[in-house]
Structure 1
Amino acid sequence: MILTVDVGNTRIKAAVFEGDTHLESFVFDKIELEKKIKKILEKFETIDYLVVSLVGDVEKQSFVAFENQVKVHFVSHQDTFPFINNYGTPKTLGIDRMVLAAGATLLYPNQNRLVIDAGTCITYDFIDEKNVYQGGAIAPGFRLRYESLHQFTAKLPLLTLQSPETYIGKSTSESIHSGVVNGLVYEIDGFIDEYKAACKNIIIILTGGDAVFLAKRLKNTIFANSNFLLESLNQTFQYKIKND
């Protein structure tokens, strides 16, 4: 049994797997980390491995504390991955992006894959049908766009995510929501259109905290799975065990 943990920029997500079966998911704040992990290990006493994707600012020691109960593995660039990394600066490629690429490679063989992770940042990762990771893009997500409008202007208010009724804002708040939400939707659809024009036999995978919100607004057909990174962590670790 495997407990996968994704430490992101904003929150921590975790999931328990028995083989390929997803048993339960958890979402919590960073300050709750040790308490929550302890409760999960108490609930699922047969967990053998704690597999961590560490992007956010959480110390490894918080996980090492559980080494007397389970085997702890931090996914790193030294792990075995099921794709060839053709990134120009491979050591700077985020572990979360590598895990997503690995999951897409393993779960959707013999296809071109574009993984879009909609969280604090929006990341785009392309793995071709020959299992070569080619690169992608990084852009600010919803929260960063709202915050930048507030922080770098004198009078614009700080708003939180809200769906605009129309693309024509009739007030400052409506205009901000239209610009942020519609702008990001147009951006994602535009990226997808570019990839679809360049590649046949391509699957689009949308994941991340804002995946559900975005999935209903995109014109392109996508596969939306907010737990894709956790599932990919499980798949990547199983691949490592079999191929090391």
Structure 2
Amino acid sequence: MVLTVDVGNTRIKAAVFEGSTVLESFVFEKKELEKKIKKILKKFQNCSDLVVASVGTIEKQSFLAFEKQLKLHFLSHEDVFPFVNKYATPKTLGIDRMVLAAGATLQYPNQNRLVIDAGTCITYDFIDENDQYLGGAIAPGLRLRYESLHNFTARLPLLDLEEPQSYIGNTTAQAIHSGVVNGFVYEIDGFIDEYRANFSNFIIILTGGDADFLAKRLKNTIFANSNFLLESLNQTFQYKINND
């Protein structure tokens, strides 16, 4: 069994895999790391490896308490990946984006792939049918857009995510919801349309914490999988084992 851990900007996601099958997945706060990992390992005592991908502030030392129980693996840019990295600044490419690209490459061979990860930030990552990672885009996620409207203006309130009642907001709150949510959806559809206009044989994977909320609002056909990063992390680890 393999325990995969994704340390994001906001929360930690984890999952236990038996081969390629997810036995159970978890979401928790960073301050709960040690307690939650202990609880998971107590339940799944046959875990042999712990695989970590981190873009957050938690350091490797936070996991060292578990190195007597199982092997620790911290994915980095030095590891082997199933694509050719054509990013002009490869060392600055987030390990989470590399893992998503690896998962898309392994799960959907011989086609163009666009992975959209809607979390704290929204990232777009494109891997072509020749398994070349070409790059993508980074923009603020839904929560960041709500927070920026509140933090950088004098009077706009901080709102929680909510379905807009109409594209025409007839109150300040509804205008914010329309601007944030509809603008976000139009942005994603616009990016997808641009890629579709330039590439055929195309698949789109939508993942991240806001994937389920967004999936039914997009006009384009997508594969929505909120656990795609954890699945990709497991697949990347298996690929690393087989190709080191």
TM-score category (smaller protein)? over 0.9
Structure 1: distance between partners of 2:224 and 2:170: 32
Give the aligned residue type for 1:233. L
Determine the C-alpha separation between the residues in 2 that align with 1:3 and 1:59. 17
For 1:12, give the aligned amino acid.
Answer: I
- 1:1-244 correspondence runs (5 A): 1-244=1-244
**Deviation for aligned residue 1:59:** 1.8
Q: Stretches of 4+ moved more than 4 A in 1?
A: none
In 2: Cα distance, 1:229 partner to 1:139 partner: 18
Once the 2 structures are TM-superposed, how far is the Cα of residue 94 of structure 1 from its aligned partner?
A: 0.1
Letter of the 1:15 counterpart: A
Structure 2 CA distance for aligned equivalents of residues 89 and 194 of structure 1: 23
- Percent sequence identity is 79
Aligned residue type for 1:117 = D
Q: Structure 2 length as normaliser, TM-score?
A: 0.99
TM superposition shift of 1:160: 1.0
CA distance in 2, matches of 1:182, 1:231: 29
- Post-superposition CA distance 1:208-243 (Å, at most 9, x none): 000000001000000000000000000000000000
Per-residue CA deviation, residues 34-87 of structure 1 (Å, 9 max, x unaligned), is: 000001111111101000011111121111110010100000000000000000
Amino acid at match of 1:18: E
SS at structure 2 position matched to 1:46: coil
Q: Give secondary structure in 2 for the equivalent of 1:78.
A: coil
**What is the RMSD of the two structures over their aligned residues, measured on CA atoms?**
0.4
5+ long unaligned stretches in structure 1? none
Which amino acid in 1 is paired with 2:20? D
Distance 1:171 1:186 in 2: 21
The offset of 1:25, in angstroms, is 0.3
Amino acid at match of 1:35: K
* Structure 2 residue identity aligned to 1:46: N
Supply the distance in 2 between the matched residues of 1:129 and 1:59 (Cα, whole angstroms).
Answer: 35
**Residue-by-residue CA offset, 1:165-215 (whole Å, 9 max, x unaligned):** 110000000000000000000000000000011110110000000000000
Q: How many residues align?
A: 244
